[in-house]
């Protein structure tokens, strides 16, 4: 059974197939409106979400399928002590595919070991968020037109930001990519990503404290929120939360074709005045999330169906 736990679970050829399918869905959504008839998607969300859960559900409904699930741990039997392994065994007989978000790193991977339906990681703690990465890649492909020869700046909470960890891994597979990692000392990219992804693949990167110094060099600026829910100490969160605020004055220093991405939700890190700048594409990015998840559901269900009939 094929599961998607990390963005690199798809090789480059499979990733191209996913993005091409998402683009075909954008061109002709009607063609896919019945593609998952009688199929069910379970959304098992042990952590809050707006975009990921609702775009998964919208994706399955757009494909003519049905949805079931829960949107918080409190409304599931995990509050009675049920393990993820037992939950997924049961859900495997209720649904054809599932998307799981969990505060513990590795929980969707554990689920995949006990599942007889495809499991998609919809975000696990501060670790990975592969479907956000596929969304980010579709955004970059459509609005920037290339993955190679890019200087990409990640700004904000690079320690706990799982979308950052996943996108660094995915973009590191392309040619002539350079990263500028903009964060306070306390929120730097974890060492395991620097060692196992960047250094091992000879990807050039700089660590920078100042957004103003970095912004003129960037083709893409990926802003992130400081992840309040992952802090042990509220005083640290309050001290760090407004370290970076992107505003029109800073945007004036950027290239005319730089794109600003953000996985959302936004708190204070992008001033609302930036929303009208044509380089600010984060709401378009959220829209792409539905199409890429439609494509992923289709590919995984086709593969699972193929296995059954073989
Ligand atoms: N980008 C993202 O994961 O948003 P949600 O937390 O709202 O799903």
Atom of ligand 1 nearest to the CA of 48: 6
Residues 253, 202 share a domain:
yes
> Per-residue pLDDT tens for 152-211?
999 999 999 999 999 999 999 999 999 999 999 999 999 999 999 999 999 999 999 999
> Per-residue pLDDT tens for 240-286?
898 999 999 999 999 999 999 999 999 999 999 999 999 999 999 99
- pLDDT of 310 over the 80 cut: no
| Residue 310 within any structural domain of the chain | no
98 by DSSP, 3-state: which? Answer: strand
State if residue 263 touches ligand 1 by the CB under 6 angstroms criterion. Answer: yes
Give residue 309's pLDDT band: very low, low, confident or very high (50, 70, 90).
low
Counting Cβ atoms within 10 Å, is residue 157 exposed (0-12), middle (13-18) or buried (19+)? buried
Separation of alpha carbons 51 and 41, rounded Å: 16
Q: CATH no. for residue 221?
A: 3.40.50.1370
What pLDDT, on the 0 to 100 scale, is given for residue 306? Answer: 86
* Ligand 1 center to 308 CA (angstroms): 33
Domain hosting 232: range is: 131-285
> What is the pTM (predicted TM-score) of this model?
0.95
Among 12, 48, 15, smallest CA distance to 122 is for: 48
Residues 230, 99 share a domain:
no
What pLDDT, on the 0 to 100 scale, is given for residue 308? Answer: 66
Counting Cβ atoms within 10 Å, is residue 265 exposed (0-12), middle (13-18) or buried (19+)? exposed
* Ligand 1 center to 264 CA (angstroms): 6
């Amino acid at each position: 059974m094929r599961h998607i736990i990390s963005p690199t679970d798809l090789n480059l050829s499979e990733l191209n197939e996913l993005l091409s399918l998402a683009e075909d869905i954008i061109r002709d959504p009607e063609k896919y409106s019945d593609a998952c008839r009688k199929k069910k998607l379970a959304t098992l969300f042990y952590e809050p979400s707006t975009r990921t859960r609702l775009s998964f559900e919208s994706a399955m409904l757009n494909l003519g399928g049905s949805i079931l699930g829960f949107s918080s741990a409190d409304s599931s039997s995990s509050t009675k002590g049920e393990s993820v392994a037992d939950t997924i065994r049961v859900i495997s007989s209720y649904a054809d595919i599932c998307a799981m978000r969990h505060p513990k790193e590795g929980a969707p991977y554990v689920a995949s070991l006990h599942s007889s339906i495809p499991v998609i990681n919809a975000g696990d703690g501060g670790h990975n968020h592969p479907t956000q990465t596929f969304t980010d890649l579709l955004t970059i492909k459509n609005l920037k037109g290339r993955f190679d020869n890019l200087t990409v700046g990640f700004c904000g909470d690079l320690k706990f930001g799982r979308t950052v960890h996943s996108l660094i891994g995915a973009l590191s597979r392309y040619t002539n990519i350079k990263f500028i990692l903009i964060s306070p000392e306390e929120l730097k990219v974890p060492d395991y990503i620097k060692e196992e992804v960047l250094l091992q693949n000879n990807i050039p990167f700089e660590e920078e404290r100042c957004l103003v110094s970095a912004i003129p060099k960037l083709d893409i600026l990926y802003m992130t929120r400081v992840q309040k829910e992952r802090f042990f100490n509220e005083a640290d969160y309050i001290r760090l939360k407004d370290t970076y605020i992107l505003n029109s004055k800073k945007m004036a220093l950027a290239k005319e074709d730089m794109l600003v991405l953000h996985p959302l939700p936004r708190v204070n890190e992008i001033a609302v005045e930036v929303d009208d700048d044509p380089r600010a594409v984060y709401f378009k990015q959220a829209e792409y999330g539905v199409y890429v998840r439609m494509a992923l559901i289709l590919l995984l269900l086709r593969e699972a169906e193929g296995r059954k009939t073989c």
